[in-house]
Structure 1
């Protein structure tokens, strides 16, 4: 159970979708003065060196964040995400990738709180070191060395009655799909008004599809976005896309994703099988938005296959350091 290290995948296409949506949700919560909590059930190491040992082995960032750097006319949801990445790379070289704890901490105001769970013994040591480097306050941030599925129960509802719960296990253990669904159901019983964001991989496992369908049957307001970047491999291995399921989403998220998903599909596509979907559902049970938002046709991608890193974008980090996690 401790074989998974997210550093191997940092900055890949799944991180792009997950973290772009998370940054949008955080920005929305900051529009009100009232304090809120962020609870991350599977925090990971928090901050990743893209020129380090793990990311350098996989090079997955090449088909993720790297494709966004310098790509023309990014929509607002992507632009906001890239600005957050740049804030962790002030020298303009994208050598550090912030995970969800770092992105949340970056967005939080002094009266907001961050609660993190991490069970991996090495990951939590790195996470604690990272948070010390970022100068966090013990009153604002706490880390629990335990399973986030179980620990989540005692934190809900947060005293503020405003909160974001991010659930994104590795899903290496097939039971994670069942545990995720149960955590959402239990969480809604305790905190019906909370914003629950669930990330999951698009892989050739029946459990992934069953969990997504079960989440869609919940009698709550939800938004479901998926991004596929390539055809599934013949051997059934590998990640060909990912999904984000958001319960009680910001009302602005749907329109921002309508603009961002086609752009992300085009920019991150690895073959002609790239596509996206976007669905919403109202709490009363009637559809509130578009059914799968798929483009019937997509123009061919440029001959180079992806935009250059050194782009004519003014704000986000324009380059990547030569080394590679």
Structure 2
């Protein structure tokens, strides 16, 4: 279908959760000198201008990153994420630039690390290639991200982070996303995998949970933040992540982040969960 454009949603509450977790995982990976491989299955444009017509049409960032970017009382666990966003906006009088997942990764990867980005959308791939100009050891491909991920595993360094972040335009994406991690895990069981999902229909999330629980994948953490209770109405009420082989302190960091997100981005109808879905 290829109609989804993340520019409409850049910096929203779902990005805050997804990118704060991605920042913590990448920050953890850089604590060892040995290089690692970052693989992004659905990369988008790389960087977004919040002043452009797409972001302004929805204004979703105003109820997301804009509410916390200058909060001096934000929990320490958000520091890697917020510092990166602030560094991109140093010369702006207002919050103007927001990174996609490739932009987050670029803030953490080092010379010894490699980055592989996949994107199918004909407009976003052009923006992504422009964004990656002069970025060394980055490889951009306009191809299917699910197959691209599997083709790169295991990485030569035997250290890696895989982000699977499809648009879920098709219901098949829920199955494909989980199945890609299950297949990837069979090839590279020590890697860290991050799978983002929207809460639109609870039954689809339950199908993902069941698939992980019945698989051979171990050490699966599930985190979810919902602005409101589940509903049969159209639209996304919440967001979540499955993290396979999370850094050992990630659960404790999320225990700081989640109540903060509820206080700053939600209201009395909002809720969150954090669960070790599959044991180590």
TM-score when scaled to structure 1?
0.82
Matched, 1:223 2:224: no
Q: Answer whether contact 1:222 1:245 (CA < 8 A) is retained.
A: yes
Distance of 1:274 and 1:238 partners within structure 2: 15
Q: Answer whether contact 2:213 2:278 (CA < 8 A) is retained.
A: no
Q: Answer whether contact 1:71 1:267 (CA < 8 A) is retained.
A: no
Partner in structure 2 of residue 5 of structure 1: 5
Distance of 1:221 and 1:274 partners within structure 2: 27
Partner in structure 2 of residue 118 of structure 1: 119
210-219 or 32-41: bigger deviation: 210-219
Shift of 1:77: 2.0
Partner in structure 1 of residue 164 of structure 2: 167
Matched, 1:136 2:135: yes
Cα 1:55–1:85, aligned 2, differ >3 Å: closer, same or farther? Answer: same
Shift of 1:273: 1.5
Partner in structure 1 of residue 152 of structure 2: 155
Matched, 1:77 2:80: no
Distance of 1:11 and 1:106 partners within structure 2: 16
Shift of 1:208: 2.8
Distance of 1:69 and 1:116 partners within structure 2: 27
Larger Rg: 1
| Equivalences, count | 278
Partner in structure 2 of residue 21 of structure 1: 21
Distance of 2:5 and 2:202 partners within structure 1: 21
Distance of 1:265 and 1:213 partners within structure 2: 27
Distance of 1:225 and 1:231 partners within structure 2: 15
Q: How does 1:174-253 map to 2 (within 5 A)?
A: 174-204=171-201, 206-218=203-215, 219-232=217-230, 236-253=233-250
Unaligned ranges ≥5, structure 2: none
Partner in structure 1 of residue 264 of structure 2: 267
Tell me the SS of whatever aligns to 1:237.
coil
Partner in structure 2 of residue 34 of structure 1: 34
Partner in structure 2 of residue 101 of structure 1: 102
Q: Answer whether contact 1:204 1:236 (CA < 8 A) is retained.
A: no
Matched, 1:46 2:42: no
Shift of 1:282: 5.8
Matched, 1:276 2:272: yes
Q: Answer whether contact 2:221 2:278 (CA < 8 A) is retained.
A: no
Greater fraction of residues in helix: 2
Partner in structure 2 of residue 127 of structure 1: 128
> Using CA pairs below 8 Å that are at least 6 residues apart, which structure has the higher relative contact order?
1
Distance of 1:128 and 1:24 partners within structure 2: 25
**Cα deviation code 1:46-83 (max 9, x no counterpart):** 00000001101110111111111233511122222110
TM-score when scaled to structure 2?
0.95
Shift of 1:94: 1.5
